[in-house]
């Protein structure tokens, strides 16, 4: 078995990218190696060799999805560095990204992994939800003024902002009603501004 923590081979990277595209379309919960392997031009045996087992592949796919999430968060950090952006403005930017149709497959996968990590905290999904909360809170914290000490009110404001984004995302994915959900986010941002 190959240690997936080492630098991956070109074939492993190629199959991971193909499996990621498959997961974006089909999800991860009912992932079966045989149909996945057939769809990406491989075999279950090769996938097992490259990723150890199904849990190893799921962990690799979650890490790959997190790369996309962190890339978006890094763009927000850079925008913060390039301009004086406050928490409310960044939450508005994040919502714009979350509401974009082209991001729905990634976000459905994110929700699936988030929920699964809550009900299977010791499996392949372990720590996914906690890590993503910390990632997002760190970005939101960078958008707040940096006093000598981070106060409880600042932590509460960014936690509220994250809760609004997460709840609105779930509602949007469930209903597709972008206008209604965006109006609700904008209303909450107006309240958060004051």
CA 79-172-63 angle, 5° bins: 60
pLDDT band at 88 (very low <50, low <70, confident <90, very high): confident
- Is 90 exceeded by the pLDDT of residue 147? no
Put simply, whether the predicted model's pTM sits higher than 0.85 gets the answer no
pLDDT of 183: 97
Between 22 and 82, the more confident residue is 22
pLDDT of residue 138: 85
| pLDDT surpassing 60 at residue 3 | no
- Confidence band of 67 (pLDDT split at 50, 70, 90): confident
Write down the pLDDT at residue 2. Answer: 41
d(CA 138, CA 109): 22
Portion of the chain with pLDDT greater than 90, in percent: 48
Q: Is the pLDDT of residue 163 over 90?
A: yes
Q: Choose the weakest-confidence range: 12-26, 63-77, 97-111, 157-171.
A: 63-77
Domains and CATH numbers, the chain: 10-193 (1.10.357.10)
Provide mean pLDDT across the span 56-82: 79
Q: Which band of pLDDT confidence, cut at 50, 70 and 90, is reported for residue 81?
A: low
**Dihedral of alpha carbons 178, 180, 183, 185, sign:** negative
| Residue pLDDT, tens place only, 16-59 | 999 999 999 998 878 899 999 999 999 999 999 999 999 999 98
pLDDT at residue 149 greater than cutoff 50: yes
Cα(40)–Cα(37) distance, rounded to whole angstroms?
A: 5
Position 162 scores a pLDDT of 94
């Amino acid at each position: 078995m190959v240690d997936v923590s080492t630098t991956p081979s070109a074939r492993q990277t190629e199959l991971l990218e193909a499996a990621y595209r498959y997961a974006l379309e089909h999800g991860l919960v009912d992932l079966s190696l045989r149909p996945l392997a057939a769809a990406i031009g491989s075999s279950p045996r090769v996938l097992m060799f490259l990723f150890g087992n199904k849990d190893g592949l799921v962990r690799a796919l979650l890490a790959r999805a997190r790369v996309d999430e962190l890339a978006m968060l890094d763009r927000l950090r850079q925008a913060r560095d390039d301009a004086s952006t406050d928490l409310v403005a960044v939450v508005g930017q994040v919502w714009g990204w979350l509401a974009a149709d082209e991001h729905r497959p990634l976000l459905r996968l994110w929700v699936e992994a988030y929920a699964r990590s809550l009900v299977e905290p010791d499996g392949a999904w372990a720590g996914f939800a906690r890590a993503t909360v910390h990632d997002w809170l760190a970005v939101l914290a960078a958008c707040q003024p940096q006093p000598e000490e981070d106060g409880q009110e600042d932590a509460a404001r960014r936690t509220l902002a994250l809760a609004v984004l997460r709840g609105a995302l779930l509602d949007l994915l469930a209903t597709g009603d972008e206008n209604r959900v965006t109006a609700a986010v904008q209303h909450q941002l107006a309240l958060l501004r004051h």
